[in-house]
């Protein structure tokens, strides 16, 4: 993936997902993130821009519309998806998630497709805390802070990993993990 200038970087690691689950309708929306570094095109080739910092950035989303256990599907089901790696090889709990037609969060239709890619890099998409620069120190909306009975982001229940600020909270995230889930009953981000 590339984001030219303020739209361009190279992906440096396997993507992670942060999934929000609404208790009211159990709608699941995943935001996908990855590690990026600014690149530029020079003499027809892509290269990293000097000592540009590496950042953990949200790059896309998917709200689940359908869930299919791949091993339980008849051979002629979902022919348009048969190229997908989940249809090949032997895996336990091999599941295919298909996007919803429209993105709906907390009951609101956001007039966006159920899955997509953010077109431009904006500060709100950068997880890396700019004051620290560590890939595992994330700046998040205050609604992520696990207090008052709100469940924490999965695998991040240790409150010593969290700091609350006036406009955001900070998390020392775990360095490894493919997907973190936030249960969002009534949370307004």
- In this prediction the pTM is 0.74
Q: Please give the helix or strand (H or E) that residue 55 lies within, else none.
A: strand 54-69
Query: Mean pLDDT over residues 53-64, rounded?
Result: 88
Q: Does residue 14 surpass a pLDDT of 70?
A: no
- Pair of tokens at residue 24: 């009211």
Query: Mean pLDDT over residues 137-160, rounded?
Result: 86
How many beta carbons lie within 10 A of that of residue 138, not counting itself?
Answer: 24
Q: What is the pLDDT of residue 184?
A: 66
Query: Mean pLDDT over residues 95-119, rounded?
Result: 83
d(CA 56, CA 149): 28
d(CA 136, CA 134): 5
- What CA–CA distances, in Å, run from 163 to 37, 91, 124? 26, 39, 18
Q: Does residue 161 surpass a pLDDT of 90?
A: yes
Q: What is the pLDDT of residue 151?
A: 80
Contacts of 175 (CB under 8 A, 6+ apart): 135, 136
Q: Does residue 137 surpass a pLDDT of 70?
A: yes
Contacts of 149 (CB under 8 A, 6+ apart): none
DSSP category for residue 125: G
**Which of 2, 96, 104 is closest to 47 using CA atoms?**
2
Query: Mean pLDDT over residues 37-59, rounded?
Result: 90
Q: What is the pLDDT of residue 6?
A: 36
When pLDDT is cut at 50, 70 and 90, the band that residue 107 belongs to is low
């Amino acid at each position: 993936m590339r984001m030219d200038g303020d739209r361009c970087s190279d992906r440096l690691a396997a993507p992670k997902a942060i999934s929000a689950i609404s208790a009211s309708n159990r709608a699941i929306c995943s935001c996908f993130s990855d590690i990026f570094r600014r690149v530029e095109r020079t003499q027809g080739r892509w290269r990293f821009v000097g000592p540009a910092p590496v950042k953990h950035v949200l790059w896309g989303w998917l709200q689940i519309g359908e869930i299919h256990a791949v091993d339980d599907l008849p051979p002629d089901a979902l022919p348009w998806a048969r190229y997908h790696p989940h249809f090949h090889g032997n895996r336990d709990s091999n599941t295919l998630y298909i996007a919803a037609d429209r993105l709906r969060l907390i009951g609101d239709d956001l007039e966006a497709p159920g899955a997509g890619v953010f077109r431009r890099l904006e500060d709100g998409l950068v997880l890396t805390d700019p004051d620290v620069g560590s890939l595992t120190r994330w700046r998040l909306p205050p609604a992520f802070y696990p207090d008052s009975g709100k469940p924490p982001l999965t695998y991040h229940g240790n409150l010593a990993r969290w700091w609350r600020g006036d406009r955001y909270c900070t998390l020392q995230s775990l360095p490894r993990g493919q997907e973190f889930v936030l249960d969002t009953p009534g949370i307004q981000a």
